[in-house]
Structure 1
């Protein structure tokens, strides 16, 4: 017996369709969610700058987010 998992925010009809067709959907999969990869990039860049207070953290987040090239987003969505 295999356990079926579904994303948290899925319409009932879609869940039934997936269940009826024996499809398992990996919930919370970063491979299927481009924003997770962008968050990873942002976290890594901000951490490297070592903010020492909340104001610096907020500013570093804004700075690093602005540095993410649009091409990075396009590549993630395309993949």
Structure 2
């Protein structure tokens, strides 16, 4: 978990929006997006260890909510 979490923290620190996990997404966005989608799924299903949820909350506030509806901001 720690490596993926740090990868996602670095990704967001570069000013990137929450990563996507769609099959059409490639590059540095895809793998963190897939990992984050899995974490959100576990969280929403009540299957996540509370310590993991707290670590995600501390490192990435808003991780459980993700993107808001609408187009991604232009880069």
Greater per-residue helix proportion: 1
Report the TM-score when normalising by structure 1.
Answer: 0.25
More relative contact order, 1 or 2 (CA 8 Å, 6+ apart)? 2
Report the TM-score when normalising by structure 2.
Answer: 0.26
When Rg is computed on C-alpha atoms for both structures, the one with the higher figure is 1
